[in-house]
Structure 1
Amino acid sequence: MDQANPLPTYRREMRAGLRDIAPIVVAAIPIGLLFGAVAAAKGMSTLEVMLMSALVFAGGAQFAAIETWIHPAPIATLAFATLLINARHVLMGASLTPKIRMSRVQTFLGFFFLTDEAWALSERRAMERPVTGAYWFVMAVVLWANWTLSSTLGAVLGLFLGDPERIGADFAFTALFIGLVAGFGRSRVTLVTVAVSAGSRPSCISSSGPLARGLGRARRHRRCLSCRSQGGALMSLDTTTLLAILAMAVVTYITRIAGLFVADRLVLTGRAKAAFDAIPPAVLVSVIAPTALTTGWPEAIAAAITAVAAFRLPLLGTVAVGVACVVVLRNLI
């Protein structure tokens, strides 16, 4: 029936993409606003912030870049740092490529939008069915538009934004990723992978390391925003800044599509296939661990409570529990 009339299936896939990405969109808004405010405090114009978010679209790399941003922008240094931070995209792309139902051209285009969140949702969906182009593009483009708009708005508002820790917004992504890990089930492979990944030094490959540091530095920037100019003119565009943004964007895209070529050369069976299937929870735990295990007792306890809730609640409910717990615990401990 679906082959005779593919439109209903197409619409179902689009609705599924919107449904799955909705909690992540909510969690991403305060982080995008924060990035825009920090970037503006560093002297970037609203147009430059918008271009970086739209072309690079990698929160960890963007926060890391802003953390050390100077004028003129050090293009080679920023490109190399972006390569190191986004190297995990190679594994993510290689893991996801066999599970998507898109043409080669669609995949090359679609992987521009490859992020931790879109990839994790797709891996979870691939446990039940192939990932279609309708599902991927709706989910990924909505997240891209949300990140671009929220960071641009953050650059405009800047001074008026409050401390994200006050409402637990900085913990939203940690809670979100805990919920995504729970979605991969309680198999022995998943549990062993989670334990090993959490016990390693994941901040070396995780986007949460730069993100957590960026959040901390954002609070320090906010204290002196009132005595600094709010970036340049709204629509000004410095040539060196543009070249730095383009370099970061190109390096990020290369890491995203490199997994396609890796997947073409892999023939996995037996234990090798099981190990490769363990990549999703391993990468997600590497994103969670720096915040959940090394930030402080409130975050560690909130992460444990969120993990329990993740097996009983939908994704948005898990995020809400995590944020509420970290707010309460920070006021008590």
Structure 2
Amino acid sequence: MAAMPAARPVRHIFRSAAPIAIAVFVFAVSFGVLAVSAHLPGWSVVLMSLLVFAGSAQFAALGVITAGGSILTAVLAGALLNLRYIATGIAVARSLPGGRLRRALLGQIVVDESYALAVAAGEPGRPDRRTLLVVGATLYTVWVLGTLTGTLLGPVLGDPKRLGLDAAFPALFLALLWPMLSGRHAVRCALGGAAVALLLAPFTPPGIPLAGAAVVGLWLAR
């Protein structure tokens, strides 16, 4: 009978997550600063991070709002970007303890980074539970604290363009996109989405080009 693999010490997990946590904190601060500069109440920005905890979706929604789009369009843009978590949730379901309700609550802290580290630390087909939960809880805490810090710094810093924080939107999405362009099919999906966004931008409300690009990208990726 094969021996069960030893659980990773928590300190080793923290060490693996530290560089990611620093980057997440910086992005969270940027999000908080940009959100309050768009005249969103600080409490609502922190609440969004508490409930959503998805950087790409939150930045997308904020981009729609700052461009003058509706709340409904902002929610749609964020939801489309988060569709990938359906597959992630299925993949980690067996690694989360408890019944359905508890697994659903724990699923709130599952993000791309915690999933990637858990897969690397686990066995084939079963992400490491401890890594998944420790990294997820760490990044969740860092994201919320970073957002809170940003909302407090926003009024002091003033115009985010002065610090170049307005570049956070394109920088974030380029950082998310670039590693995915590993084959012709991925490039075709990206170009298709970009073409739709450019075509829709001149004559549709803010947020519609992003939502349209996401729909076309998902359709091409099927």
Q: Which residue does 1:317 correspond to in 2? A: none
Cα shift readout 1:40-83 (whole Å, capped 9, x = no counterpart): 0111122111111111111111111111227x994433332222
Cα shift readout 1:272-291 (whole Å, capped 9, x = no counterpart): xxxxxxxxxxxxxx9xxxxx
Q: Which residue does 1:195 correspond to in 2? A: 183
Q: Which residue does 2:13 correspond to in 1? A: 17
Quickly say closer, same or farther: Cα 1:174–1:67, change in 2 above 3 A: closer
Q: CA deviation at 1:17?
A: 2.8
Quickly say closer, same or farther: Cα 1:197–1:139, change in 2 above 3 A: farther
1:104 pairs with 2:99 = yes
Q: Which residue does 1:121 correspond to in 2? A: 117
Paired letter, 1:102: P
So what's the TM-score if we normalise by structure 1? 0.45
1:90 pairs with 2:77 = no
CA contact 1:58–1:115 (8 Å) conserved in 2: yes
Q: Which of 7, 13, 22 lines up with 1:26 in the alignment?
A: 22
Quickly say closer, same or farther: Cα 1:203–1:104, change in 2 above 3 A: farther
- 1:174-323 to structure 2, matched below 5 A, reads 174=175, 194-196=182-184, 198-202=186-190
Q: CA deviation at 1:38?
A: 0.9
CA contact 2:122–2:128 (8 Å) conserved in 1: no
Q: CA deviation at 1:103?
A: 3.2
Q: Specify every segment of 5 or more residues in structure 1 that has no aligned partner in the other structure, as ranges.
A: 4-8, 182-192, 210-285, 287-333
1:42 pairs with 2:38 = yes
Quickly say closer, same or farther: Cα 1:54–1:35, change in 2 above 3 A: same
Paired letter, 1:27: A
Whole-Å separation in 2 of the counterparts to 1:58 and 1:49? 13
Quickly say closer, same or farther: Cα 1:16–1:64, change in 2 above 3 A: same
Which of 1 and 2 has greater Rg?
Answer: 1
Q: Which of 36, 50, 72 lines up with 1:54 in the alignment?
A: 50
Q: What number of residue pairs does the alignment pair up? A: 181
Cα shift readout 1:241-272 (whole Å, capped 9, x = no counterpart): xxxxxxxxxxxxxxxxxxxxxxxxxxxxxxxx
Cα shift readout 1:92-131 (whole Å, capped 9, x = no counterpart): 2223335x26333443222111212112222222356943
Q: Which of 126, 129, 134 lines up with 1:138 in the alignment?
A: 134
Quickly say closer, same or farther: Cα 1:26–1:195, change in 2 above 3 A: same
CA contact 1:35–1:63 (8 Å) conserved in 2: yes
Quickly say closer, same or farther: Cα 1:58–1:203, change in 2 above 3 A: farther
Percent identical among aligned pairs is 25
Whole-Å separation in 2 of the counterparts to 1:137 and 1:41? 33
